[in-house]
Structure 1
Amino acid sequence: MPAAYEHHLVPVVFRPFAADLAARAARLHPRRILELAAGTGALTSALLAAAPSAEVTATDLNEAMVALGSARAPGALWLQADAQRLPFPDGSFDLVACQFGVMFFPDRVAAYTEVRRVLAPGGRFLFTTWGPLDTHAFGAALQAGLERAFPADPPQFLRTVPHGYADPAAVAADLAAAGLAVAEEQELTLEGRAPSAADVATGFLAGTPVRAAVEERGGGPSAVAAVTEEMTSRLGPGPVTAPMTAYVFLATA
C-alpha cells in the first residue's frame, strides 16, 4: 500500500498541499518542527526544503510508512509514534505540523492535548483537513465509481474518514477541548494533475484502505474496471486536472 500511495496519489493529491503548508510553516520561522502522520514524506520533504535551518522530526503510526518516508526524506529524524501518546518531553517543539492526518486519529482531543503538551510556549499547530467529499473532484469520482461497482453496499471510507471531519466548527471545538484555539482558518482549493483517471483509481484502490473495503465485498477485476470507467467518464480521458478543497488551520495554546 505505501508504494502505491506514494507513486499514484502523492504527486496528484498531496504534493500541491504540501508545498502550500510548508511555505506557511517557513513563514513562522520554526527551529524545531514535529510532523504527525507524516506518511511517505510528502510534507516532510517540503518542510526540509522550505525551512532548511529547522530540525524536522517526522512521525507516523504505520511502520511501513516510516520506512518508506525515511528513505525519501532522510534529512528528517523519523520515528514510529502514536499521536495520542507522543514520546517527547513537554515543550519540545515550536511548530507541530500535520497534513491530512488528524481525521484518522481515533481520539482527536487526546491527540490535540498531546500537541499542546509538546509545544513550547508560543508554539503553533499547523494542519489541514479535507473539505466535503463533493469538493474533491478525484474523491467524488472515485466514490461514484464505487457506487457503480457495489450498488447495494458501496464502501463509505472516503466519505466517513478522510472527508468526515469537514466541519471547521467541529475542528475548533475539539481544539478548544484540548486547550488550543484557532488563530487562523482558511478554505483552500488547489488543482491536482494526473496522467489519467485510471492512474488515480489505481492509487485509491491499491494504496488506501479502500482496497480492503473492495476486497471484503469480493471485488475483483470487474469492480476495478467499473470504478475506472466511471472515473474516466467523469474526469475525462488522458491527462486530467481537477480541483480539491481543504481547510488550513493554525492553532495556538
Structure 2
Amino acid sequence: MADLADKLNRPLLDAAGVTVGDRVLDLASGAGEPALGAARRVGAQGLVVGSDLVPGMLAGAVRRAGSEAARGVEAPVFTAADMTALPFADGSFDRVTCRFGIMFVPDAAGALHAVRRALRPGGTAAFMVWGPLSGNALFAEVAAAVAEHLGEDGSLDPLFRFAEPGLLSGLMRDAGFARAEETDLTPVRKAPADQPFWWAALDMSFGHRLGDLSADRRGALEASIAARFAARAADGVVPVPAHVRIVTGTVAG
C-alpha cells in the first residue's frame, strides 16, 4: 500500500500548509504516517507530534521514528492521546493533520472543538476521509463479495461516515473554524494481479465476521474477491481507483 499512501500523504500535508519550522500535530497516526513525512518537511526548526488513541498502535511508528533518527533524519515524537481531549495547551500547533481517523471518533464534533483549541490563530487543520464507496474499488469489490457470501451488515458504514460532500466541512464550521473547504482526489493504485493486495482490507474491515468461517467458506470468499479483481486486470496489473476527500479548516487570525 506504500505507493497509494504516498499519493495521499503529500496532498494532505500540502493542504495543511506544513512547511519548515512548523509545529504539527498528527492525529490517529497509527503506524506513523503522515507524521514521518511531516517531520521531514518541518526540519530541525519545527516539531511534529504524532498521536493515537491506542498506545499499541504506535509501537511501529516509534520504531520507524527511531530508524529515521539513526539516519540523521528529523523524526516525530509519539504519544497516546484522545482526540476529544487533547493534552496540549491552547494554540500549541500551527498545523493539525489526520488521515482516515476522524470518522471513527464517536464525538466528532467534540474532536473538532479540541483541534481548534490546540491550533494557534491562523492555524490550519486538514482531515482526509473516504469519498463514496462506489469510487473506492478496493473496498467496493471486497464488500460486494462479503455481502454475496455472508450478507450485508453495514460493516463499512463507519469508514464512509463522511463520504457525503459538505458533511465534515459543515461540522468544522460549527466547531468554530473560520473557513472550511473540501478537495476531492481520485488516485489510481496499480496493483500486481498475481498478489492478494486486498487481504489487508478484508481483514481490517470484515475480520469480525470471518473468525467463525470454516476453511472452505473462507476459501470460497477469497476466491470470489480474487475473481472480481482478476476481471479488472490487464497486462498483469489491476487498476484500483480510490476517491478521497481532504477537508481543511482555518482558525481565525
TM-score (norm: length of structure 2): 0.84
CA separation in 2, counterparts of 1:247 and 1:95? 18
**Partner residue of 1:77?**
77
Q: Secondary structure at the match of 1:162?
A: coil
Alignment pair present for 1:32 and 2:23: yes
Q: Work out whether residues 197 and 238 of structure 1, in 8 Å CA contact, stay in contact via their aligned partners in 2.
A: yes
Offset at residue 250 of structure 1 (A): 1.5
Letter in 2 for 1:32: R
TM-score (norm: length of structure 1): 0.84
Q: Secondary structure at the match of 2:243?
A: strand
**Partner residue of 2:210?**
214
Letter in 1 for 2:184: E
In the alignment of these two chains, the number of paired residues is: 240
CA separation in 2, counterparts of 1:164 and 1:115? 19
Letter in 2 for 1:168: P
**Structure ranking higher in helix proportion:** 1
Offset at residue 237 of structure 1 (A): 7.9
Q: Work out whether residues 116 and 176 of structure 2, in 8 Å CA contact, stay in contact via their aligned partners in 1.
A: yes
Counterparts in 2 of 1:96-107, with a 5 A limit? 96-107=96-107
CA separation in 1, counterparts of 2:81 and 2:90? 16
Rate the CA distance shift 1:70–1:196 in 2: closer, same or farther, 3 A.
farther
**Partner residue of 2:201?**
204
Write out the 4+ residue segments of structure 1 that deviate beyond 6 Å after TM superposition: none
The structure with the larger Rg is 2
Rate the CA distance shift 1:141–1:200 in 2: closer, same or farther, 3 A.
same
CA separation in 1, counterparts of 2:116 and 2:212? 39
**Partner residue of 2:169?**
172
Q: Work out whether residues 169 and 247 of structure 2, in 8 Å CA contact, stay in contact via their aligned partners in 1.
A: no
CA separation in 2, counterparts of 1:185 and 1:95? 17
CA separation in 1, counterparts of 2:114 and 2:88? 9
**Partner residue of 2:111?**
111
Rate the CA distance shift 1:163–1:196 in 2: closer, same or farther, 3 A.
farther
CA separation in 1, counterparts of 2:113 and 2:126? 14
**Partner residue of 1:190?**
187
**Partner residue of 1:44?**
35
Rate the CA distance shift 1:47–1:58 in 2: closer, same or farther, 3 A.
same
In structure 1, runs of 5+ residues without a counterpart are 1-9
Percent identity between the two aligned chains: 29
CA separation in 1, counterparts of 2:181 and 2:194? 34
Offset at residue 101 of structure 1 (A): 1.1
Alignment pair present for 1:68 and 2:60: yes
Q: Secondary structure at the match of 2:91?
A: coil
CA separation in 1, counterparts of 2:234 and 2:76? 39
Q: Secondary structure at the match of 1:200?
A: coil
CA separation in 2, counterparts of 1:59 and 1:112? 15
CA separation in 2, counterparts of 1:48 and 1:216? 42
Offset at residue 12 of structure 1 (A): 4.9
CA separation in 1, counterparts of 2:20 and 2:142? 38
CA separation in 1, counterparts of 2:29 and 2:39? 13
Letter in 2 for 1:51: V
Q: Work out whether residues 149 and 227 of structure 1, in 8 Å CA contact, stay in contact via their aligned partners in 2.
A: no
Letter in 1 for 2:223: A
